[in-house]
Structure 1
């Protein structure tokens, strides 16, 4: 048999597969109709596992057993997705302990932010809150404590930076506060200034104070001035406030321009950090709610420490057409060499595709917690 004949036969087989695929999807609707009447769950883990085992038994070639299982696992995922699409059309609602609301309300609410006035948390918070609605705390954990205790309605935390990556401690913190959820993402442009309390030139500075993230975001600047000692502080604006009070000689801070102006510091050099430097902040609340227009979901998941476990988890999103924009691993504190994963997924909790993916994780025994489903807000450079 020549190549052209082989290709023609493959085309014939492919047409038959497409026809059978369409027939299988049509039957999935009939299954959904029956489940709508009887109240049965869309996902039947026991039935699917039995089906996959029987498929493996049918395949004669040992090398094709695993690929056949994956092919049919995907087909069953698509069948469930089809069922959920139908159920959604007739009014079925997903239940993941989150409630859909029309919009978020910030009027008359208090926001907890770490640091002092004109910190980047303060600047990002002012996108939605009035100046007199923002209350300051000393540490990032205090932000979450304020929200959990009811002293503040919302809290704001820096989570990631486009130049330097994730704020690891804040991800670890958020994983421990199960009652709280992410209600909004604020992408705020960050531009650091090098500022002093005296009349110095940049090359005269010997010490630079700032938050560790800010210092790291300006690493290209420090390559030009390797003699400068980098000293970590709790916050960029706190560093600015301290320097304004101590007036330390030959010292400088990295902070925002508004912070430098507010605390009366002299700007030696503007735009020290990268021009494309943006920090992602999470707005934290106590209610497990999401808006109808939310299109991004952040979750924590614990994948079993065995071959293929993370692959199958990611496959549940892939087969449902959901895009993962971030996956970060963090060690589990009390278990050596065990990891949890922070995942960002595009989608809304009310969508059948999202429900299908999350239901599959649940039925497969994957532990996960939804941190929030929200609409990102991108702030333009002023």
Structure 2
């Protein structure tokens, strides 16, 4: 019978030798890094790594071990690259952002926000900027982006994420399409109410209008009232405007209490959202590539090669640089089958060495990298 302790003792000896050889390998990788720095050669050599993995797998005695060798050495090579990136002192991280002490805002500042008057976005805009700036609203997310791009507005306010329903995918796509950057964020507690005409009662309601997000956030209420048909409109406040203009007591809107006051509507039921801590995150966008010196969050997006382990290797840049990733979202790439662009939020400032190391590594290994903002 095999002696368990003897086997464990042998494993301990092997592990110590692996550690010694690993450290020796990393020393050799450092020598390689110095050569690459002197000659300007790129750290990531995909062709060389593929050749190495093929040769190493051929040394293994069975398929299980071949797979294990491939996984092991992919991680060793990934660690070697990260060490090499950290040695490159002058990194061209492609960060076209300027540090400022504060965002320039005064009484002449123009702000555009999404939705109709009385919407949650208007509420978020007022809480973030106050009421002294010049402001106007538009009816689509894309128009907000356009107005900032063409200098009709200095800043734009858009919803991007809700605690109940997750990210708003259209916004992610627009952040890629436009060169506007995220310059701030504001989180707003959202309590939806069912609003009707002054003479309406809950038992009268057959149709309810709201933005798609409002409907999704109140899905359980709607399921409990199957006689009510939910109809999507451009914003929660647009739903309120519609029932006022049509004057039909069988119609209602899902919107905020502030909307009821603005349009003279009756609150038929408060807190119809199913999540009691329902909150929406709004982003502040601008044309300028600027970030405040006390910024603490960074948003990026990148595309990856469609191959095993590529996402894991990319996310490991955050781990090795001790960065806390707070969100990851994926969006399909247009014209490609089951290939994705990834959106990541993580804590940090563009001045931080760890942040610059991580961004440099991702830029080297991803197909594309875009910094969406530091705020």
Quickly name the TM-score band, shorter chain normalised: 0.7 to 0.9
Measure the CA separation in 2 of the matches of 1:76 and 1:207.
Answer: 61
- The C-alpha deviation readout for 1:305-357, integer Å capped at 9, x for no partner, is 33433333333434444343333222333445543222223333333333233
Matches within 5 A, 1:4-153: 4-15=5-16, 44-46=43-45, 50=48, 53-54=51-52, 57=55, 60-61=59-60, 62-80=66-84, 82-83=86-87, 87=89, 94-108=93-107, 109-133=109-133, 134-153=135-154
Measure the CA separation in 2 of the matches of 1:154 and 1:135.
Answer: 11
Measure the CA separation in 2 of the matches of 1:114 and 1:256.
Answer: 15
Matches within 5 A, 1:1-382: 2-15=3-16, 44-46=43-45, 50=48, 53-54=51-52, 57=55, 60-61=59-60, 62-80=66-84, 82-83=86-87, 87=89, 94-108=93-107, 109-133=109-133, 134-177=135-178, 179-273=179-273, 274-374=275-375
Measure the CA separation in 1 of the matches of 2:67 and 2:29.
Answer: 30
CA contact (8 A) 1:210 1:239 kept: yes
CA contact (8 A) 1:32 1:83 kept: yes
Q: In the TM superposition, what is the alpha-carbon distance from 1:26 to its structure 2 partner? A: 8.0
* TM value normalised by structure 1: 0.83
Gaps (5+ residues) in structure 2?
61-65
Measure the CA separation in 2 of the matches of 1:71 and 1:169.
Answer: 35
Q: In the TM superposition, what is the alpha-carbon distance from 1:2 to its structure 2 partner? A: 3.2
Measure the CA separation in 1 of the matches of 2:333 and 2:92.
Answer: 33
Q: In the TM superposition, what is the alpha-carbon distance from 1:63 to its structure 2 partner? A: 4.1
CA contact (8 A) 1:78 1:320 kept: no
Alpha carbons of structure 1 residues 95 and 303: separation in structure 2 relative to 1, 3 Å: closer
Give 3-state SS (helix, strand or coil) of 1:310's partner: helix
CA contact (8 A) 2:194 2:269 kept: yes
Give 3-state SS (helix, strand or coil) of 1:200's partner: coil
Q: In the TM superposition, what is the alpha-carbon distance from 1:136 to its structure 2 partner? A: 1.0
Give 3-state SS (helix, strand or coil) of 2:223's partner: helix
Alpha carbons of structure 1 residues 169 and 303: separation in structure 2 relative to 1, 3 Å: same
CA contact (8 A) 2:303 2:366 kept: no
* TM value normalised by structure 2: 0.84
Alpha carbons of structure 1 residues 338 and 180: separation in structure 2 relative to 1, 3 Å: same
Alpha carbons of structure 1 residues 318 and 373: separation in structure 2 relative to 1, 3 Å: same
Give 3-state SS (helix, strand or coil) of 2:315's partner: helix
Measure the CA separation in 2 of the matches of 1:17 and 1:107.
Answer: 62
Give 3-state SS (helix, strand or coil) of 2:128's partner: coil
Give 3-state SS (helix, strand or coil) of 1:127's partner: helix
